[in-house]
């Protein structure tokens, strides 16, 4: 009997040691790298299945943060940790997450992590800061199935460089369902990104339900076919469409908010509106029967700002958009709007006359007509307590008074706007168009729109150009990358184009240029790519050595 007991004990120990009870060690050198990591030495904190996550139940969102931490630890290490509200008693073998509103931390999104032999703590000024501390802890964990994980004693202090850290997705050219959008939000949360710019409307498809204008989705969400590759005369003979109901939108907005991500919706106007024109032809200059566009590029078929109905339509759409999206900013597009039709449209010319929008200061009358429309919509949005962002073309007819400029055609628009005292978001296509190729070996890449933006190019971006006086640097709110989807039809392909360039982007958003080091970043990417593998994200492998 005794022998039997010993035998079972030996088997139990063997099983425990060989599978369940493997030991791992955390490494805080994650992406993005925290601003300061001080390793304190001594005996580490040993995370095990008895470790509890303790949270402050008086603070909203902290239970959810505790759940995130517990889920992430399980996902990465297999360890299942319980979580419970703090009751002031046991602080051994716990990870305590708490808010310190009065502390010395200035930035709402900064955080501190302290690890000592007895346990760990994440403290921040806001639940969002705690969330970024949780992300850092999550990314520092070893991947696998562990019985225990050692966390080296350390003091970590972190704060993001920018308050606006954006990532964009075009769902008009190809539609991606809400489940993928949530997955994309998870991916951007992994990179400490706090803004999702959702490009919801364009010539090739209108993707958001607007109750007052049902034809926008009945007609505008579907195109009869799509061109094949870059042959604009061809057809795949397959209808393509899809849209989000208002309930879908609310669900996605709430999902993002739980992850401290604000969604900025874009209703691109007055160009890139062919899907709306196909639904309501009376909004155009010619009244012809428009069609949702099956090809890519820039069309001269744009909204008619000369017609009062067009202005009313935009205000009505904005009413529903502002109801759905609580973001401070609404993106009104403004890019690539040819003015050929406006030059000959009696309504547009009458508007120019009535509003005295004659050519002035190097702007044509028609450019000033676009600015007039932008300002009308801006006023409406401002009156509702919100602000507009527009692509840098909105500078062309004179900038609307409170507009924030998204500089995409290089940094010039951003420089001009910042020097005028306007806020700016840097999205230059030289560095942040993730629809561009990642390799010069195009034959071995999926078809892309063009260009060449490898990870290193993303990484080297300096968000503060010399041409902007340091006293105006505060107007540069942040940096974003865009994923336009003309040539991206599948979710795997979206991930391939976004990753790992998003990792370089997030380090540009989080860390000052002076302290960034590309070689060090590459070293840290080994573990970051292992996290992508573990979570099943598809990514481009160009930075992996020996491939």
Under rule CB under 6 A, residue 432 binds ligand ACM: no
- Residue 84 engages ligand ACM in binding (rule: CB under 6 A): no
Q: Is 270 in the site for Zn ion (CB under 5 A)?
A: no
Q: Known catalytic residue: 202?
A: yes
What is the size of the binding site for Zn ion (CB under 5 A)? Answer: 6
Distance in angstroms (rounded) separating the CA atoms of residues 67 and 35: 26
Residues 337-366: x/- map of binding to Zn ion (CB under 5 A)?
--------x-xx------------------
Tell me the β-bridge partners of 150. Answer: 25, 46
Of these residues, 191, 272, 331, 475, which one is catalytic? Answer: 272
Nearer to ligand ACM, 378 or 393 (CB): 393
**Phi, psi (deg, nearest 5) at residue 462:** -105, 110
Choose, from 320, 336, 347, 355, the residue flagged as catalytic.
336
Residue 433 to residue 431: CA distance in whole angstroms = 6
Is 392 part of the annotated catalytic residue set? no
Which C-beta is closer to ligand ACM: that of 389 or that of 543?
389
Contacting ligand ACM (CB under 6 A), which of 22, 100, 335, 376?
Answer: 335
- The DSSP code for 99 is E
> CB–CB of 160/133 below 8 Å?
no
Q: Indicate whether 248 belongs to the interface with ligand ACM (CB under 6 A).
A: no
Q: Which does 408 bind (CB under 5 to 8 A by kind): Zn ion, ligand ACM, none?
A: ligand ACM
Q: How far is 507 from 381, CA to CA, in rounded Å?
A: 33
**Nearest to ligand ACM of 272, 516 (CB atom):** 272
Helices 346-354 and 365-383: crossing angle in degrees, nearest 10, is 70
Ranked by CB distance to ligand ACM, the top (closest) residue is 335
Helix/strand/coil percentages in the chain, nearest 5 = 35, 20, 45
Q: What does the alpha-carbon distance between residue 31 and residue 415 come to, in Å, rounded to a whole number?
A: 29
Residue 206 in contact with ligand ACM, rule: CB under 6 A: no
Selected binder of Zn ion within 34, 127, 294, 306 (CB under 5 A): 306
In whole angstroms, what is the distance from residue 524 CA to residue 529 CA?
A: 9
Q: What is the distance, to the nearest Å, from the Cα of residue 20 to the centroid of all Cα atoms in its chain?
A: 37
CB of 189 to ligand ACM, least distance (A): 24
For the segment 384-413, give every residue that binds ligand ACM (CB under 6 A).
391, 408
- H or E element in which residue 376 lies: helix 365-383
Out of 37, 97, 274, 304, the only residue in the binding site for Zn ion (CB under 5 A) is: 304
Contact predicate 290/277, CB 8 Å: yes
The question of whether 336 is a catalytic residue gets the answer yes
- List residues near ligand ACM by CB under 6 A: 335-336, 391, 408
- List residues near Zn ion by CB under 5 A: 285, 304, 306, 345, 347-348
Catalytic positions: 202, 272, 336
């Amino acid at each position: 009997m005794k022998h039997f007991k010993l035998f079972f004990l030996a088997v139990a120990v063997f099983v425990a040691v060989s599978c369940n009870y493997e030991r791992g060690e955390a490494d805080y050198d994650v992406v993005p790298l925290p601003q300061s990591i001080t390793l304190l030495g001594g005996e580490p904190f040993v995370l095990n299945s008895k470790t509890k996550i303790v949270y402050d139940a008086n603070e909203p969102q902290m239970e959810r943060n505790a759940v995130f931490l517990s889920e992430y630890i399980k996902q990465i290490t297999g360890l299942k940790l319980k979580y419970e509200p703090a009751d002031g008693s046991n602080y051994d073998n716990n990870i305590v997450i708490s808010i310190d509103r009065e502390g010395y931390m200035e930035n709402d999104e900064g955080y501190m992590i302290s690890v000592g032999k007895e346990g760990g703590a994440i403290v921040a000024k806001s639940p969002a800061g705690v969330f970024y501390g949780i992300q850092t802890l999550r990314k520092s964990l070893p991947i696998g199935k562990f019985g225990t994980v050692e966390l080296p004693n350390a003091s970590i202090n972190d704060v993001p460089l920018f308050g606006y850290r954006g990532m964009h997705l075009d769902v008009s050219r190809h539609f991606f369902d809400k489940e993928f959008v949530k997955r994309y939000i998870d991916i951007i949360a992994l990179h400490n990104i706090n803004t999702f710019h959702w490009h919801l409307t364009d010539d090739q498809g209108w993707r958001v339900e607007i109750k007052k204008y049902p034809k926008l989705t009945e007609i505008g969400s579907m195109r009869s076919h799509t061109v094949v590759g870059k042959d604009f005369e061809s057809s795949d003979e397959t209808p393509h469409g899809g849209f989000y109901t208002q309930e879908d939108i609310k669900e996605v907005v709430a999902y993002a908010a739980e992850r401290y991500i604000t969604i900025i919706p874009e209703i691109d106007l007055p160009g890139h509106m062919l899907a709306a024109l196909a639904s309501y032809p009376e909004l155009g200059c010619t009244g012809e029967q428009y069609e949702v566009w099956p090809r890519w590029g820039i069309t001269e078929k744009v909204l008619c700002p000369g017609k009062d109905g067009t202005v009313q339509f935009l205000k009505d759409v904005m009413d529903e958009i502002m109801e759905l999206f609580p973001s401070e900013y609404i993106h009104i597009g403004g890019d690539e709007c040819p003015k050929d039709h406006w030059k000959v449209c009696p309504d547009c010319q009458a508007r120019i006359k009535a509003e005295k929008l004659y050519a002035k200061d190097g702007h044509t009358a028609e450019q000033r007509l676009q600015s007039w429309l932008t300002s009308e919509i801006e006023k409406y949005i401002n009156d509702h307590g919100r602000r507009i962002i527009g692509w840098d073309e909105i500078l062309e007819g004179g900038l609307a008074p409170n507009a924030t400029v998204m500089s995409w055609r290089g940094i010039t628009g951003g420089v001009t706007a910042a020097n005028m005292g306007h806020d700016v978001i840097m999205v230059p296509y030289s560095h942040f168009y993730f629809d561009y190729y990642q390799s010069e070996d195009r034959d071995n890449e999926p078809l892309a729109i063009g260009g060449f933006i490898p990870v290193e190019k993303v990484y080297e971006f300096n968000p503060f150009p010399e041409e902007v006086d340091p006293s105006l640097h505060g107007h540069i709110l942040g940096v974003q990358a865009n994923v336009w989807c003309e040539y991206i039809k599948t979710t795997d392909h979206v991930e391939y184009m976004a990753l790992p360039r998003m990792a370089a982007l997030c380090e540009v958003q989080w860390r000052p240029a002076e302290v960034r080091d590309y070689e060090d970043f590459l070293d840290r990417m080994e573990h970051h790519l292992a996290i992508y593998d573990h979570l099943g994200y598809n990514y481009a492998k160009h930075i992996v050595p020996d491939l």
